[in-house]
Structure formats: structure tokens, C-alpha cells
Amino acid sequence: RHDGDHLGNVKPGALLRYAQQIATTHAEAAGLTDEVYTATRTAFVLAKLALHIDRTPRVDEELTLVTQPECCKRAVNKRITHFYDADGAEVAVIDSRWVLIDIDKRIILRKLAGEPVASYSRCDMNGHLNNTRYADILCDALPWSVWEQGTVQDLLLFYHREVPRGESFTLSRARTSEKQYYFNGEREGKSASRGISGNH
């Protein structure tokens, strides 16, 4: 009853908490326990979710939850959770997308996309990788399937540390949704740049 509103309906946030609990219970049954996360210094964090309610359940109802995770696609783990009432009718469904992160570096664990070098043709008069070249590097790191399907429509770049001429940085890539990729550039253990391309 503490999850009900003034009308006696279950609050949307409560449905999210139920879904998160059943996902945790399922993961623990599969061996993904707190001890495993502690030992590997990792954690699953929620990237995004979508909740659809066909009929708002009441606080005195009994609900059955069925959670169905899918195989990870690159860095993203999709999980669908269905809510059924006592008659077996679906009342709500949640589509949640989770990513595994390194809790020390606070970055998504993703595939390595290369080690770009601040070469002669990429550097400017200041002696470091020109800011426009980061866009070229990210575009080069996108799968060819992106370019076969269309073009990049949105590109966000965050600059943290310059890359001096002759030096390199590690570029990692993760697909965070069907039409979006996240990149992270690291040099000497610190973030050099981050970029997001989407809506291609």
C-alpha cells in the first residue's frame, strides 16, 4: 500500500522498482552476485528505459512479473519485463537497457576501437591533435554498416585533455542504442575526449 497514490493506484515509480528487483533476483540466480561485481570492479547501470502501461494496477492486486534478458549487443544488455494480473492479462511492460561499467574509471566496458596517433597530418600549429580531427577519428571508428545505411546526423564531442603531436590515445566504442554509439578516448589513464554519434 505504500506504493499507492491517493487513488489507490500503483505509482509508475513502484513498477520500475518491482522490475529492478526481479532483474536483480534473476541476475543473482545466474551467478551475478555482489561478490562478483566487487571482485571484478564492475556494475550494471541503467542507460535508458521505456514503460508502457495498458492498465494501471491497484495496490491490492497480485501481479506476476516475467523478465526476459537478451544477449548483450556490444555493450548494451536489453531486458524486457512484463507485468500480468491475476487473470493473466498484461497490464504493463518495461523495456530497459543496461550497460556494464568499470566502477573505478567510470566508463562503459566496450570494444577497443584502436589507438589513434596525433600524426603530422592531424596536428595543428599548436602542436597537438586538431579538434576537428576527433570527428574524423570517430567516423573512421564507426562500423561500415553505419555508412551503408545512411549518414551521421548528430555528433557530440567533449574535449578533456589535448593529445600532443606524436602521442597516441586509446579509443573505445560502445553501441548504446540501435542508432547511437558512444566513444571514449583515454591517454595515460585519463579521459582525453568523449563523443556520441546518433540518429544515423
At position 175, the amino acid (one-letter code) is: R
User: How do the pLDDT tens digits run along the chain, 200 residues long?
Assistant: 889 999 999 999 999 999 999 999 998 998 888 988 888 788 888 989 999 999 999 999 999 999 999 877 767 889 999 999 999 999 999 999 998 888 887 877 766 788 999 999 999 999 999 999 999 999 999 888 888 888 888 888 888 888 999 999 989 887 766 777 888 888 876 665 555 565 54
Compute φ and ψ for 147, nearest 5 degrees. -75, -25
* Among 34, 40, 32, 140, CA closest to 77: 32
Host H or E run for residue 184: strand 180-187
Residue 51: per-residue pLDDT = 96
- The three cell numbers of residue 88 are 493473466
Residue 83: per-residue pLDDT = 98
Residue 200: per-residue pLDDT = 47
Q: What angle do CA 120, 125, 126 make, to 5 degrees?
A: 100
User: What pTM, to 2 d.p., does this model score?
Assistant: 0.58
Q: Own/partner pairs for 17-25, CB < 8 Å, 24+ apart?
A: 18/63, 18/65, 18/83, 19/65, 19/67, 19/81, 19/94, 19/96, 22/65, 22/67, 22/81, 23/67, 23/69, 23/79, 23/81, 23/96
Residue 178: per-residue pLDDT = 74
CA distance 98 to 67: 14
Residue 175: per-residue pLDDT = 75
Is residue 194 within 8 A of residue 183, CB to CB? The reply is: yes
Host H or E run for residue 114: strand 111-114
